[in-house]
Amino acid sequence: MKSAVIVFPGSNCDRDAARALHRITGTPAAMVWHKDASLPDGTDLVVLPGGFSYGDYLRSGAMAAKSPIVRDVVAHAERGGLVLGICNGFQVLTETRLLPGALARNAGLKFSCKEVPLAIANVNTAFTRAYRETRETEIPIAHGDGRFVADEETLDRIEGEGQVIFRYLANPNGSDRDIAGVMNARGNVMGMMPHPERASDPALGRTGGTAVFQSLLEAA
């Protein structure tokens, strides 16, 4: 699998994502600067990492969504290429409208950083197929604007179409219907607030996110 990690000014999980990809796929990920115009040829998977792109000015992810490379990320998604947005990357994907809903300020108005238990709401996806034997996992969060919100019609639609992928078992931020991760209708773009790259190395004592990357490797 040939993967690329997008680097924005303010990204702070780009290297973590690249290390997780290299560890699980055996192939180094390309680090792509936000001002680049195009992805490397043959890219299978694009990861938009966590962090605070552009300092989270305006809205989290709003300025990053206008970066030159994001135009090619959108084109990659429209061609059916795989895209994973983690935390700030999830925010960017909602700003581009590749994913439904929006990420608002946490209900408690405080930054939250802790391990959270998750249910895998749909295991039949390119992002979760390796979770088929577990259905639950634990992955850390680290966000201040992680509350997933959408109107009732949108919530009903994405629930009915299997687009809700991860759900909090103990809601840390007030997200509508405990939603922690969603994908697009086509099934090739997913955003999640928890950080699987921070839970994919046995040396750190956390492996709950490993199956996300294993699933993508299988899908590619």
Q: Give the residue numbers annotated as catalytic, written as ranges.
A: 87, 195, 197
Which of 91, 166, 180, 157 has the alpha carbon at shortest distance from 135? 166
Partners of 44 in the β-ladder: none
Mark residue 167 as left, alpha or beta (left: phi above 0; alpha: psi -120 to 50; beta: remaining).
Answer: beta
Q: Give CA 174 to chain center in angstroms.
A: 18
Burial status of residue 23 (CB atoms within 10 A of its CB: 0-12, 13-18, 19 or more): middle
What span, in angstroms and rounded, lies between the C-alpha atoms of 58 and 40? Answer: 30
Count the neighbouring beta carbons within 10 Å of the beta carbon of residue 27: 13
Are β-strands 147-149 and 189-192 bridged in parallel, bridged antiparallel, or unpaired? unpaired
> Is 195:13 a contact under the CB 8 Å cutoff?
yes
